[in-house]
């Protein structure tokens, strides 16, 4: 409820700024982007090459999401800079979810690495644009192994104990309750999960490379594509 109130308040502010009397869907979309990612950085000037890399990166995410059945539907793809992001792909779930399965996680990880895979396929190398994706993917993969019991190799065992809330409610430290050998196995399992997800993303994008190119070229021109497009 508070999130919806915040969204509509932002929409009302934008409506007044635009000199309109009714909050439109287009204004709510802009309000959503502002709430999620921050205001557009229209003053930022980027080169055509960087714009192309950003477009292929975001379409890589979107296309993998569209092709995998357990990833939420793509709502919007944008290469307009907001906050610290050069572009973004927004998914919108069609259901409330509190539980995640192993297969859902695996497909989500492939989606999250879709930008990394697209850069590699199109440009032959990757950029720093995937750093947040890699951090997020690694964190989820580690939780799958150490918290959720989703590793066939290590089984349904919690590996590592939280010491409780840290300073000002931040995560506390973790007490290692396993051996150095188990730590090595955890690292190997995490790496296997991440690399499998990357292989899935690369395989899908290579199979649909023509689509990757067509959608990316369209995004470079339009800067925003709605999910249906």
Catalytic residues: 58
Please give the radius of gyration of the chain, using alpha carbons only, rounded to the nearest integer: 20
3-state secondary structure of 98: coil
Residue with tokens 């950029």: 127
CA distance linking residue 223 with residue 67, whole number of Å: 22
Give the number of other Cβ atoms within 10 Å of residue 55's Cβ.
27
Contact 177, 160 (CB under 8 A): yes
CA distance linking residue 79 with residue 86, whole number of Å: 6
- Identify the bridge partners of residue 85 per DSSP, sorted by sequence position: 82
Phi, psi of 162, rounded to the nearest 5 degrees: -80, 140
CA distance linking residue 5 with residue 28, whole number of Å: 12
CA distance linking residue 167 with residue 32, whole number of Å: 31
CA distance linking residue 29 with residue 97, whole number of Å: 22
Contact 194, 110 (CB under 8 A): no
Sheet containing 74-78: which strands, arranged edge to edge? Answer: 88-91, 74-78, 224-226
């Amino acid at each position: 409820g508070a999130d919806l109130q915040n969204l509509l308040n932002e929409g009302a502010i934008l409506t007044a700024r635009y000199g309109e009397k009714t909050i439109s869907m287009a204004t709510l979309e802009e309000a959503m982007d502002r709430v999620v990612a921050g205001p557009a950085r229209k003053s930022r000037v980027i080169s055509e090459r960087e714009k192309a890399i950003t477009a292929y990166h975001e379409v890589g995410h979107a296309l993998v999401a569209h092709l995998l059945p357990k990833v939420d539907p793509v709502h919007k793809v944008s290469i307009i800079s907001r906050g610290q992001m050069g572009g973004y792909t927004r998914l919108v779930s069609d259901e409330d979810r509190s539980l995640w399965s192993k297969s859902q996680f695996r497909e989500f990880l492939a989606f999250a690495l879709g930008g990394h895979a697209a850069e590699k396929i199109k440009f032959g190398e990757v950029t720093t644009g995937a750093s947040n994706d890699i951090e997020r993917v690694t964190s989820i993969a580690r939780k799958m192994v150490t918290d959720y019991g989703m590793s066939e190799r290590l089984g349904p065992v919690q590996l590592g104990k939280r010491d409780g809330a840290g300073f000002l409610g931040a995560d506390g430290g973790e007490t290692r309750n396993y051996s150095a050998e188990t730590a090595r196995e955890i690292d190997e399992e995490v790496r296997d999960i991440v690399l499998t997800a990357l292989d899935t993303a690369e395989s899908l994008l290579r199979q649909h490379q023509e689509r990757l190119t067509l959608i990316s070229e369209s995004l470079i021109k339009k800067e925003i594509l709605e999910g249906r497009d």
